[in-house]
Amino acid sequence: MTVGTSPATLDLSAALEPEHLELARNPLHVTLSADVRDRVARCREFVLDMSRSGRAIYGVTTGFGPLVEFEGRADSAGQSDNTILHHIVGHGDLLPPHVARAAVLARLFSLAQGRSGVSEQVVSALIAMLDSRFAPAVPRLGSVGASGDLQPLAYVAHCLRGNGNAFFEGRLMPAGEALALAGLRKLELDGRDALALVNGISVTAAALGLAVAQAVRARRTAELLSALMADVLGCGTEYTSVGLLAAFGHPDVADTGAALRTWLEGSVPSGERPLQEAYSIRCTPQLIGAAATNIRQADEVVRRDLNGVSDNPLFFPETGEVVHGGNFFGQPGAFAADQLNVALVQLGNLAERQLDLLVDPRRTNGLPPMLSPDPGRHHAVQGVQIGATATVAAMRRAAAPASVQSLPTNLHNQDVVPFGTQAAFTALDQARLLRYLHAGLAVAVRQAVHVGARRPRSPRLAEVFDRLAAAVPPIVADRPLDTAIAGVADLLDTVASEVESVR
């Protein structure tokens, strides 16, 4: 991967990483090497040969799903039409354009493995789309994540053929108009092209990958804010002890302790705090470290999904095999997304409780209630806390696992399903809500210093605090804070990314 002036560049012969999915928000140049081109062409020719041989191949010579017992349409273009059109039944909110584009990138990498029999023109069309500011308009509801993300990926193909709606530069419009503005040709499909486009878990993998990328930043942000809060309150640092955390036996907890010690280096306890702090300070290594374990597990799973082949059947020209199976069944990602969801909610609980501690004079050595410089006449972060409470409630309500909600469908052909797509979307939602909670907490820490808490003694934390203070003026009189919170969320992401780059 190379990133300089836009667009960034990715190589189809390299591994696809969760953070690469974020690059698809903007025009992204994907290179197609000769090796990738050859393996795609070789598999395509093999599929055509097998089709002409009279061998039954699912979706090529047959109907779809439980209608596999019936013959499909004789012409491949008509078969492609049927593949897509009967799935154009989605509903609900449209995916944000950057999520839809990330799904296209994930599908492209799966097709480029040369096991799906797709034509090179499809690969080239997806590459051209990613190099533009076009995005498919994809409804959120419709996939059970069992035969892949059939309905959302069908909308991707539908839009690229000039049908339905699409986004261009963030504006929703008829797909044909968006294609023209982006300088893209309408996609033509035949053979196995349509089924290869829709028969995979690329929407699930993209949403989960984006959630993981944000969750990695959230873990670093939680460490930063926990250390910053401890420093401005003058807390002792015994709870980050190397020996203490090593004795606990969890490597990610020890790593979080190390991160906290790095942030707090140079901080000196005030001597005015209790012997043992509340759990929202004292147990941060254990809580954040446990979340880090879940984030790391989700990261491992989604990397496998992004670089594997999700399709059915798969084609092996080198051995002459056509193998029918279930590589479109997104159970690994479903479990991983649900586990990530829970970790994000607990990080949200921590941030909300830390904010609650800061606004309470009984636990801050006498800082004014709600961190107001003039309590009663002005209310400072009182609204921020109410918003945080509402946000945590929303996160908790969405914490029910999707991966165990299996419902039989499709004439019991899909008699057990993982619902990984819904799990991944929820994890992405939770990561977005957690950004709000972290930003609200950061605003409160900044305000705490304004109303009497000490400036951070740690040089590293003082540098971050100065950036925060420059972004958010102190609250002297009540004012709207929504724009400020959004800006702080972006700043925290930037700081977390800087931390990642040096570790």
For residue 476, what is the DSSP state?
S
Q: Is the dihedral of CA 311, 317, 318, 320 positive or negative?
A: positive
Q: Token pair 């807390």 is at which residue?
A: 235
Strand (E) positions, 98-137?
Answer: 134-136
Helix axes 420-450, 382-397, angle to 10 degrees: 160
3-state SS class at 364 = coil
Q: Strand 321-323 vs strand 8-11: parallel, antiparallel, or unpaired? A: unpaired
The DSSP code sequence of 304-350 is: HHHHS---SSEEETTTTEEE---TT--HHHHHHHHHHHHHHHHHHHH
Nearest to 417 by CA among 326, 333, 331: 331
Residue among 58, 155, 239, 436 flagged as catalytic? 58
Q: Residue 161 has which token pair?
A: 């053929």
Question: What separation, in Å, do the N-terminal and C-terminal C-alpha atoms of the chain show?
Answer: 19
d(CA 93, CA 238): 48
Q: Is 58 among the residues known to form the active site?
A: yes
3-state SS class at 181 = helix
Residue 29, amino acid: H
CB of 426 closer than 8 Å to CB of 337: yes
CB of 175 closer than 8 Å to CB of 163: yes
Which residues are annotated as catalytic? Answer: 58
